[in-house]
Amino acid sequence: MTVTAPHWDDSVLPFQLDGADVRGRVARLDGALNSILGQHSYPPAIEALVAEAVLLTALIGQAVKLRWKLSLQIRGKGPARLIATDYYGPTDDGQPARIRAYASYDAERLVPEGPAFAQIGEGFFAVMIDQGEGMVPYQGFTPIAGTSLSDCAETYFAQSEQLPTRFALSLGRSQAPGQPESWRAGGVMIQHMPKASPFAKGDGGTGEGGLLAAADLVHGEDGESWARVNMLLDTVEEMELIGPALAPDRLLFRLFHQEMPRIFPVQPVNFGCSCSEAKVRNSLSIYSAKDIRHMTTPEGTVTADCQFCGAHYVLDPATVGFDAAKGAPGA
């Protein structure tokens, strides 16, 4: 018997809770996540960090506009040196978004039995938004805090955006009857609708190291609504987050039916890389013929590998760099 993926896999469903001034998104990742992790052979701890970062990226990235790019970077001084993700907004309405990710790590320093998050150590969590040609990219940073990447993301939104934000995530390997083992991930993101910030710059927060936390940003009736929605989200079960038995819209009504949930069109998400031979040539265009000779392999070629998708490019050294022969391919 062939088991097919539910239609809501690899998708993000935006929603709003009209009864609580809360907006959010539900994400389910299956094929896209497996395609990303399948490009590499990461140790389990690194694989788990990449999977969590990809899920967070899908949840956060859905809000970017057409053709924009959102990136997460988690840099640490521990064995997990870098987790990087990119989310490319659809080129047109109705088209899928694209997502990719990779990790850089020190295999000799990894603690095999240690918690995945502990492999990052001291560092920072960054969000970057590229609005396209001619626009200055946005960058926001917060220190690594809490016990998970979702904790870091919540701290980022409280500290940098002053938006009360909460994530509930579930991810891991699973196996359907008659099918090979694969990754599944699901999560819910909620945010209190933006209002005038109750905190002035320089105010300290109740979060780790004096950073702002979501509870610092909502008071009075808003605080009561936020606390109520968080209590409802606390009732979600891991299997409800990843499915496949419960569709995202049914999950929302199960959790928040008293808060008048309203759903919006679903956003499909695919694995996709933006690398190309043209981009490789462009990145090499700053080098002289002498520099290119130092990059040339014993076989007489210049090679480059994409860290995200593993694509391997082999180029004629005479056709790259700013001294490339006129009329040569790619010159």
pLDDT digits (tens, 9 = 90+) for 40-61: 999 999 999 999 999 999 999 9
pLDDT band, very low/low/confident/very high, at 7 (cuts 50, 70, 90)? low
Give the pLDDT of residue 198: 52
pLDDT of residue 4: 39
SS3 (DSSP) at 53: helix
- Looking at residues 141-164, what average pLDDT do you find? 95
pLDDT for residue 167: 98
* Buried/exposed code over 258-287 (b: 16+ C-beta within 10 A; e: otherwise): ebebeeeebbbbebbbebeeeebbeebeeb
pLDDT tens-digit map of 307-331: 888 889 999 999 999 887 544 444 4
pLDDT of residue 251: 95
Domain made up of 11-271: CATH architecture: 3-Layer(bab) Sandwich (3.55)
pLDDT value of residue 196: 52
Q: What is the pLDDT of residue 217?
A: 87
Asked whether the predicted pLDDT for residue 168 surpasses 90, the reply is: yes
Please give the angle made by the CA atoms of 12, 31 and 111, to the nearest 5 degrees. 100
Joined together, the tokens standing for residue 121 give: 């150590």
Q: If we measure between CA atoms, which residue out of 47, 229, 74, 223 comes closest to residue 155?
A: 74
Average pLDDT over residues 151-166: 94
Across 10-24, 94-108, 294-308, least confident range: 294-308
Does residue 68 carry a pLDDT above 90?
Answer: yes
Q: Mean of the pLDDT values across residues 178-198?
A: 83
Number of H helices, E strands in the chain: 8, 13
pLDDT above 90: residue 13: yes
The token pair that represents 134 in the structure block: 């001619």
Domain boundary assignment for the chain: 11-271, 277-319
pLDDT in tens, 87-138: 999 999 889 999 999 999 999 999 988 899 999 999 999 999 999 888 888 9
Instruction: For residues 233-245, give the mean pLDDT.
Output: 91
The confidence score (pLDDT) of residue 195 equals 66
